[in-house]
Structure 1
Amino acid sequence: MFPMAMDMTTDSPEVDSPSSMDKAASWTRLPVELRQKILNFVGSPFSGRQYDGLASPKLAPFATVCREWQVFFETCTFRRLVLDPDSLARFDTIIRRRDSRLGYIRKLWLRIKLSTYNCPDCNYPEDVVTQNLNNGIFTDCILSLLGTLKLWVPARHGAQGLVLMLSVSSPSDTAHWFSRCEMKDNYPFHYAEDLGLSPGMVEFHQANTAHPFIQGVHRGDSMPWHNGHFKRLHGTPLRLVRRGKRGRFISQHRSLPAVPMVKGLVMRRQFRREIHVGSLSCLLARSFVALEWFCFERTLCLKPRHQLTFDQGTYVMCSHTLQRLSDETDALSSGFQSRLLPSLPKTLRQFSFTQWDIPRKERNPTHGNGGPGLSLHAQANLLRKMAKVSQRLEQLCPPWQMDAGAFLQSIIELGESPETVESSLKRIILRCSLSSSQTSSMEFGSLVLLAAKTALSLPQLEVFELWGTYLDEHDSSAYIFRYMHEDRRASMVWRSFENTMTCQARIIPMWSEVAQKHSHSSLTYNAVPFTETKADLYKSEGSCIYRHLLLKDLAFDPITQIILENEPYDWCSDDEKSQVLNQGNPLTPHYAHTLSLAGIGQDDDPALLQADIMTFETEVNAFLQHHYG
């Protein structure tokens, strides 16, 4: 593998032969701009690459040519890393050998792989032994990575830092009931820049998604009525632990180092296994002390009492045992409201938190789903805390299960309080729930009016986006309202299935007042009907509206958005899928090469590498001969 080869050739002193010294002198005679073009030419096959399973071209061997090549190609190679439990120790060695490589890392995916399981265990929740084993794997991975990243020094490695994507899964999660291709190691779409890969997301999902009629059958058996298969996939929330003197696990790990290198944190919904909210809070408070943005996606719990545990922090009732959390004082304060929100670092400027229903094909429909109606997010305590957090953020997407009107009212009340610091909020996207097709228009219009009053208390506001859908087989409805203040000009857009604006006579004057306060300019406004039909809205389960949101990247991770848009059509024919999949515009790819340290120790083909180097040497010598004699 490249890192070992690179270190051997660059760390050890070498005696250059006269011929190699002449070649080096010839290379240095080239203008800097030309040398840069040559290096880009050598690396060009790796930008805008095509994926081919796990196989992808490797830039690492070119770093062994000379020191200048080393810096260039290490910058490309270390830019994106994928780390598995087996590769963390090797990663630490590579970084400690030359810690300047920390400055090259921009995106790092810690892909924690838990223990495997067999049938019939796939139909039942994890037992205590498995929980302890998985907690140990999770803790070891986290501590190893933090121990390496804490070596980062801004003055030496640059102040940009990295974005950390954190996922936890078992290799067995996709080997039993579930065949979700986005959870597998060979899934090529990890970041927005990967949407330009060819073949695209459409073809990959079509080729790797199981036929819907066999999705609910495993080894001839139908889904367990108790949904044990999903409980196994969802897993028991993972906790940071440390071993006691007798080998027992003890909660509340207190030796977490501060790692200011992590500037962004992404936890995607497609990886269902959760981190215990108390352990996640510890990471945010003690390690991710310089975090600037946080995209937190999760799937709602199957059982209401488990969702209650996440929301507020209570005792967990398991199907087999009554289990208390390890520390009672921690148990009563381990919820999202009381623990996670207060632990968000003061440096945080962007926060997105979304919760999703369990996809219908993953659960036994006779047993229901712990959906939004069972969430306690509408409680006044959460509303006040979310409103208070929003005052120090610049961008916010609050939980969709929260009462939008009550949240807006909480912001207004905070703005009227003399003790409140002036809000820094610039961009906010808020989803509202609509109760019926007959009343949805008036409900949405009332929220738009309340939003105008809220905007008056947000002096730095740039974009306010409010949206909602109501799904009905015969009469669905959807609305988007957007206010935008840019270049001292204010504009407003209303989108629905009609070309008229509800409550127009009241909405325009109120938002004109907002425009006057923000930019001292008049307000331009427009009503634009959706191009989709109500039938499209219902069939897509509301997801066809996502692409019309201006702040969609704040509401969804770009990869998650496309998966959500595609998910309702997993039950459709290939012809129906092709009409809806991947309708977003692919982004222009950058250097999309990802160095995976999971398979470390696999050497590149020396013959191919030698052939590439000889070809390049021939081209360089020809150029030197032509221009320099």
Structure 2
Amino acid sequence: MTSRNPTLWASLPAELRLKILEPITHEKTPGWASLASVCKEWQPVFEKENYKKIKLPSSRLGEFESMVPPQKRHLIRHIWLDIELRRYRTRCCSKRNSQLKTLGPTVTKAIRRIFSILSKWEAGNGLTLELNVVCPSDSEHWFRNLHFSSDCVDDEESATRGEADHHHHDPRHGWLHGAQVEAPARSAMYQLLYPVRLDEHQLASNPLPTVRAITQLVIRRQLRRRIVSFSLPELFQKLPCLENIVYEPWYSKARWTEHDDLYLSWIIQSSLPKSVQRMVMFQESTELYDALSSFDGQRQRVGHHDRYDEAFAHKSLELHHLAVSFMVDAEQMFTSCQPTWIWPNLQTLSLTSQLLQSDGGKRGTIEALLCRAGELVRRMPKMRTLVLWNGGKDHACAFMYCVDENDYPSITWRGTWDMEMSPRIIEAWQDVASTLPSCRLDVRNERIEETIGSHGDAIYYLRLPLQVVEPASLWQMRREARE
């Protein structure tokens, strides 16, 4: 347009020119980033999107400061650090400890380097730091169908369409003509799920610097090498302005997990920065690995540690937003809440409960849970959205309380099975509605007809009114389950 008739483009109002350019930045067609160099008017539009989220391999940390001059730092909203591990050596799959000795030092060195760089940045722009640990060999050997470093977002077509690589043939790692016909070796599972512990010797001689620029820390499910809880305070203590935490750990029946869970519950209750207002915690299901042998010889399962119930109950008193999936059970967490508690700031709350299943014998217990939730919400004066849900293969359901922008309250049951809103439930939530300008409570019941193939499908079709897992993680769940 500009090369043929520059006068025509210049004659358009500035607001209209901006509306034309902005969709191009979101489409991200090949070469879109170079459009920032076309002219001075275009530069701020495309640079804003170009710098917004940066995926940074640890091998390029040395170049990072020169890549982002000080005058461009305010444009960056999200830094995704991919900490790269060395590729497996020959016949590594039969050697359990081939990569594990250098795991802690490698991760510690990369985190210390990014903290050192970001410690020079000013606070106030709202910066997210996402941490990932990835080994290229993981997706080249046994685990070609898993996602370790992707940022795809959920859309129906791409998440549900599996595309097998029929040319891939590696019988030694269980693959025949694009199909996985053998479970990964025990040593391979050990490599994949081995926990990360920061190097105490490195940190003792050269501690992490304080970083005030970071306001959100993200650790997604694609980091299957869970960072042990004993190392997390090293990060949190150096992030005094942290407001949001997104953490999606994998559950394992490994022997170290028991102590790790106890320590994590203490961190949640007592050791997070006072600035934290929002937590989204999603304990990943291991249903994809149920047929595989775990590295400690015991079958993995999804479960919660009793100490988490009390820890999250106490922490909720300080938060504005809390979503915890599969780490606690709503019924147990509600039991940990004291009769005198008031939640002055809590605006959204999402919890899972194993009670929410289509067993007719549990209707009375489910009813008691929903009524108890109503009693607690009456002590949450700022509550706008509460969700109690459950989901897995072949089942999904959610109870949702929402207050819209006009202060109209509603309760909704949405699921693959019907749950009648009894007079007792309606009365409990009508009491909540009576505290709002509009006393009328809207009651809805919606049925899910789609096939639920995994817990990822359950989340997708429940259309929950708040985020319980990162969108890219949800895409991975659904895609991996299909494949």
- Structure 2 CA distance, aligned partners of 1:210 and 1:269? 28
Aligned to 1:153: 122
Partner deviation per Cα, 1:569-622 (whole Å, 9 max, x = no partner)? 32xxxxxxxxxxxxxxxxxxxxxxxxxxxxxxxxxxxxxxxxxxxxxxxxxxxx
Partner deviation per Cα, 1:196-250 (whole Å, 9 max, x = no partner)? 79x94555x525699999797169995466x22111011232314444xxxxxxx
- Structure 2 CA distance, aligned partners of 1:212 and 1:553? 42
Aligned to 1:326: none
Contact 1:116 1:172 in 2 (8 A): yes
How far off its partner does 1:99 sit?
0.5
- The aligned amino acid for 2:275 is T
- Structure 1 CA distance, aligned partners of 2:434 and 2:15? 54
Matched, 1:126 2:97: yes
Q: 1:395 to 1:134 in 2, by over 3 A?
A: same
Aligned to 1:178: 143
What are the within-5 Å matches in structure 2 for residues 54-73 of structure 1?
56-57=30-31, 59-60=33-34, 62-63=36-37, 71-73=44-46
- The aligned amino acid for 1:482 is M
What are the within-5 Å matches in structure 2 for residues 269-280 of structure 1?
269-280=221-232
Aligned to 1:300: 251
Q: 1:83 to 1:300 in 2, by over 3 A?
A: same
Aligned to 1:606: none
How far off its partner does 1:360 sit?
3.3
TM-score, with length taken from structure 1: 0.66
- Structure 2 CA distance, aligned partners of 1:545 and 1:153? 41
What are the within-5 Å matches in structure 2 for residues 477-556 of structure 1?
478-486=396-404, 487-499=406-418, 501=420, 504-519=422-437, 521-532=439-450, 536-537=451-452, 540-551=453-464, 553-556=466-469
Matched, 1:102 2:73: yes
- Structure 2 CA distance, aligned partners of 1:255 and 1:297? 26
- The aligned amino acid for 1:115 is R
Partner deviation per Cα, 1:406-451 (whole Å, 9 max, x = no partner)? 201223x1x515xxx6431111111101377242333322211111
- The aligned amino acid for 2:28 is R
- Structure 2 CA distance, aligned partners of 1:214 and 1:356? 29
- Structure 2 CA distance, aligned partners of 1:224 and 1:477? 28
- Describe the SS at the equivalent of 2:141: coil
Aligned to 2:241: 290
Partner deviation per Cα, 1:36-66 (whole Å, 9 max, x = no partner)? 939965x97654135xxxxx52625854x77
Matched, 1:426 2:347: yes
Q: Which of 369, 372, 391 does residue 447 from structure 1 map onto? A: 369
- Structure 2 CA distance, aligned partners of 1:263 and 1:49? 27
Q: Which of 301, 308, 314 does residue 371 from structure 1 map onto? A: 301
How far off its partner does 1:273 sit?
1.7
Cα RMSD between the aligned structures? 3.7
Aligned to 2:188: 229
Contact 1:466 1:480 in 2 (8 A): yes
Give ranges in structure 2 of 5+ residues lacking alignment: 1-5
Q: 1:87 to 1:441 in 2, by over 3 A?
A: same
Matched, 1:560 2:469: no
Partner deviation per Cα, 1:555-576 (whole Å, 9 max, x = no partner)? 1111212322343332xxxxxx
- Structure 1 CA distance, aligned partners of 2:424 and 2:204? 53
Q: 1:363 to 1:116 in 2, by over 3 A?
A: farther
Contact 1:122 1:229 in 2 (8 A): yes
- The aligned amino acid for 1:235 is Y
- Describe the SS at the equivalent of 1:546: helix
- Structure 1 CA distance, aligned partners of 2:148 and 2:253? 20
What are the within-5 Å matches in structure 2 for residues 334-373 of structure 1?
335-360=263-288, 364=292, 368-373=298-303
Aligned to 2:174: 217
Q: 1:340 to 1:171 in 2, by over 3 A?
A: farther
- Describe the SS at the equivalent of 1:352: strand
Q: Which of 78, 84, 87 does residue 113 from structure 1 map onto? A: 84
TM-score, with length taken from structure 2: 0.84
Q: 1:478 to 1:180 in 2, by over 3 A?
A: closer
- Structure 2 CA distance, aligned partners of 1:49 and 1:116? 31
Q: 1:362 to 1:544 in 2, by over 3 A?
A: closer
Matched, 1:136 2:133: no
Contact 1:429 1:466 in 2 (8 A): yes
Q: 1:240 to 1:221 in 2, by over 3 A?
A: same
Q: Which has the higher contact order (CA 8 A, sep 6+)?
A: 1
- Structure 1 CA distance, aligned partners of 2:425 and 2:449? 24
How far off its partner does 1:72 sit?
4.9
Contact 1:84 1:111 in 2 (8 A): yes
Partner deviation per Cα, 1:512-555 (whole Å, 9 max, x = no partner)? 111112446121212222223xxx34xx1444331244546521
Contact 1:493 1:528 in 2 (8 A): yes
Contact 2:146 2:480 in 1 (8 A): no
- Describe the SS at the equivalent of 2:314: helix
Aligned to 1:169: 134
How far off its partner does 1:364 sit?
2.5
Partner deviation per Cα, 1:253-291 (whole Å, 9 max, x = no partner)? 7722222222222211122122222222221121x2212
Contact 2:129 2:217 in 1 (8 A): yes
- Structure 2 CA distance, aligned partners of 1:147 and 1:212? 44
Contact 1:183 1:270 in 2 (8 A): yes
Contact 2:268 2:315 in 1 (8 A): no
Normalized per residue, the structure richer in helix is 1
How far off its partner does 1:132 sit?
4.2
Partner deviation per Cα, 1:6-26 (whole Å, 9 max, x = no partner)? xxxxxxxxxxxxxxxxxxxx9
- The aligned amino acid for 1:466 is L
Aligned to 1:315: none
Aligned to 1:627: none
Contact 1:114 1:169 in 2 (8 A): yes
Partner deviation per Cα, 1:117-151 (whole Å, 9 max, x = no partner)? 13432244335xx4442222212211221122222
Matched, 1:460 2:382: yes
Contact 1:444 1:479 in 2 (8 A): no
- Describe the SS at the equivalent of 1:153: coil
- Describe the SS at the equivalent of 1:206: coil
Aligned to 1:15: none
- Structure 1 CA distance, aligned partners of 2:173 and 2:384? 46
Contact 1:110 1:165 in 2 (8 A): yes
Q: 1:108 to 1:290 in 2, by over 3 A?
A: same
Q: Which of 21, 37, 45 does residue 17 from structure 2 map onto? A: 37
Q: 1:409 to 1:99 in 2, by over 3 A?
A: same
- Describe the SS at the equivalent of 1:397: strand
